[in-house]
């Protein structure tokens, strides 16, 4: 690998989300948000999937790790200083909507919430770290779900617009890079996180998912419009979950199924947000669920808005690839947090069953680049693993280094292929609460946080082996892996 592979201004950094690390879930006026009612533990997804899931806190039955996070709310200066020590050029984080608008439908924002992010941003700027903000990362104010029915309700477009306008106006002088919704397409498989829909409030009806997407697309375009009116130089992207999808074999039916799975799971949302219109395959995709375009609530003005305000770049997460097989009966299956599929005999899996596939990242970058001809930003990638600190709290995480090294190599190769890649922010650069399982023991970080699945520990931060390794990667602009 040569140094020239990575552009001079490549944005090396790390990524987090407010609900998974801040804690302080009721401090300084913050309202409850969706993750505040999600119990911790491997059963999290099953509990959400139950028809009895009621979006309430049951302290007697469950623990709620998102309430404490890693207490970043009170440690952010220390944490950002550690990111700076690694040489981060950027730091991707999100704004907890319910810190700014506690219920979500207020007209005026909560000043204490805005002040917190002023301080976080100032801290980044002080260390020459470019903030990269996800406006909404799986943390919808709870009230918007319980009182308004979540994103199926078009009123949410206005509430999101107010939220986006407030934060863009307040921070645009210091923050150039933005994303509108985290993993907007994850609703294809599990609409709870991005759309606030569980089976108990309508997730089993696909019409709700598509209507919510439409409303989110409109909301996203409004945010893009606001951002560019404030400053045409602002870069505002979409953010999708991308899992490179292979056909199990050369059977034409499997090839066709792969193409369709790609359209539905990987491309649909980005097609709308990047190209500014619904793709031609929309009609057939809806027909798969016995739906038609006329079933939906949309206006000509909304479609015009989508066309006028597409996103500037494509942010995406990449952890694993999947396999399509509609022809053969397969016994083995692979897991992901929100996706799964047939297991791939050529790949190894993480402890949580995610299939590790660095070449899949090169393919993802090439596919996205060929399709959209827009800048790409890998805003999540990484290995969730159980770390074993020694008596000095040191974690020798060579397995994580191996994972990241191979993926970074693949990024360099995709850049050689011609992909325009803006940056790379590995997920959970500091250990945080897992989105799918609410565990602390599933760790991604370069920095170990002394805290267990019950939220107990000293909350001290310790550098892992990967900390110095990533520091060297950044210092050499990806030349020394």
Catalytic member of 22, 123, 130, 380? 380
Burial readout 401-422 (b: 16 or more C-beta within 10 A, e: otherwise): bebbbebbbbbbbbbeeebbbb
Helices 398-417 and 358-372 pack at an angle, to 10 degrees, of 30
| Contact call for residues 77 and 476 (beta carbons, < 8 A) | no
- Asked if 354 contacts 384 with a C-beta cutoff of 8 angstroms, the reply is yes
CB atoms under 10 Å from CB of 392, counted, come to 6
C-alpha distance from residue 470 to each of 35, 246, 383, 448 (Å): 30, 30, 14, 14
105-134 residues near ligand BG6, rule: CB under 6 A: none
Which pair of tokens denotes residue 28?
């300084």
Q: In which element (H, E) is residue 433 found?
A: none
Residues 219-258: x/- map of binding to ligand BG6 (CB under 6 A)?
Answer: ----------------------x-----------------
**5, 6, 11, 17: which one contacts ligand BG6 (CB under 6 A)?**
17
The candidate with the shortest Cα–Cα distance to 379, out of 21, 137, 172, 189, is 137
Number of residues that bind ligand BG6 (CB under 6 A): 15
Q: Closer to ligand BG6 by CB, 40 or 412: give it.
A: 40
Q: Residue 442 interacts with ligand BG6 (CB under 6 A)? A: yes
Q: Quick check: 68 binds ligand BG6 (CB under 6 A)?
A: no
Name the token pair of 102.
């506690």
Q: Taking the mean position of all CA atoms in its chain, how far away is CA 401?
A: 21
- Which window, 102-110, 243-251, 291-299, 428-436, contacts ligand BG6 (CB under 6 A)? 428-436
Compute the residue count for the chain.
481
Name which of 103 and 189 has its Cβ closer to ligand BG6: 189
Contact status: 337 vs ligand BG6 (CB under 6 A): yes
Active site residue 111: no
Q: x/- string (CB under 6 A) for ligand BG6, residues 297-336?
A: --------------------x-------------------
66 binds ligand BG6 (CB under 6 A): no
Q: Token pair 């999100």 is at which residue?
A: 94
The correct pick among 310, 315, 358, 384 for binding ligand BG6 (CB under 6 A) is 384
| Interacting residue with ligand BG6 among 36, 130, 183, 413 (CB under 6 A) | 183
Residues marked as catalytic: 380
Interacting residues with ligand BG6 (CB under 6 A): 17, 20, 138, 182-183, 241, 317, 337, 380, 384, 427, 434-436, 442
């Amino acid at each position: 690998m040569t140094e020239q592979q990575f552009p001079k201004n490549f944005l090396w950094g790390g990524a987090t989300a407010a609900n998974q690390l801040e804690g302080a879930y009721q401090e300084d006026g913050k309202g409850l948000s969706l993750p505040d009612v999600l119990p911790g533990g491997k059963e999290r997804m099953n509990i959400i999937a139950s028809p009895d899931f009621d979006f309430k806190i049951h302290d007697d039955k469950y623990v709620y790790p998102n309430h404490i996070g890693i207490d970043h709310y009170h440690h952010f200066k220390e944490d950002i200083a550690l990111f700076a020590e690694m040489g981060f050029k950027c730091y991707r984080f999100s704004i907890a909507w319910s810190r700014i608008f506690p219920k979500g439908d207020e007209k005026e924002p909560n000043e204490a919430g805005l002040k917190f992010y002023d301080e976080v941003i100032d801290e980044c700027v002080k260390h020459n770290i470019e903030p990269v903000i996800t406006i909404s990362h799986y943390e919808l104010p709870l009230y918007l779900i319980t009182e308004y029915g979540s994103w199926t309700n078009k009123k949410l477009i206005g509430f999101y617009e107010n939220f986006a306008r407030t934060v863009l106006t307040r921070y645009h002088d210091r923050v150039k890079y933005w994303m509108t919704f985290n993993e907007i397409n994850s609703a294809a498989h599990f609409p709870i996180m991005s759309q606030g829909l569980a089976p108990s409030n309508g997730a089993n009806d696909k019409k709700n998912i598509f209507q919510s997407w439409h409303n989110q697309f409109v909301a996203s375009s409004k945010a893009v419009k606001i951002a560019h009116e404030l400053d045409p130089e602002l870069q505002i992207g979409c953010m999708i979950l991308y899992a490179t999808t292979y056909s199990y074999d050369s059977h034409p039916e499997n090839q066709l199924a792969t193409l369709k799975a790609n359209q539905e799971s990987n491309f649909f949302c980005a097609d709308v947000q990047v190209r500014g219109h619904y793709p031609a395959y929309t009609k057939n995709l809806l027909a798969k669920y016995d739906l038609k375009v006329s079933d939906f609530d949309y206006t000509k003005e909304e479609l015009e808005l989508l066309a006028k305000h597409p996103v500037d770049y494509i942010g995406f997460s990449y952890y694993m690839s999947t396999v399509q097989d509609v022809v053969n009966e397969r016994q083995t299956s692979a897991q992901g947090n929100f996706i799964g599929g047939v297991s791939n005999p050529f790949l190894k899996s993480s402890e949580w069953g995610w299939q590790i596939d660095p070449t899949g990242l090169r393919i993802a970058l090439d596919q996205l680049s060929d399709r959209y001809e827009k800048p790409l930003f890998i805003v999540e990638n990484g290995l969730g693993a159980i770390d074993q600190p020694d008596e000095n709290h040191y974690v020798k995480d060579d397995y994580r280094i191996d994972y990241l090294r191979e993926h970074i190599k693949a990024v360099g190769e995709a850049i050689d292929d011609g992909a325009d890649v803006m940056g790379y922010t590995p997920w959970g650069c500091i250990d945080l609460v897992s989105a799918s399982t609410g565990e602390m023991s599933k760790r991604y970080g370069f920095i170990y946080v002394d805290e267990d699945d019950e939220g107990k520990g000293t909350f001290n931060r310790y550098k892992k082996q990967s900390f110095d390794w990533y520091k060297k990667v950044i210092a050499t602009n990806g030349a020394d892996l």
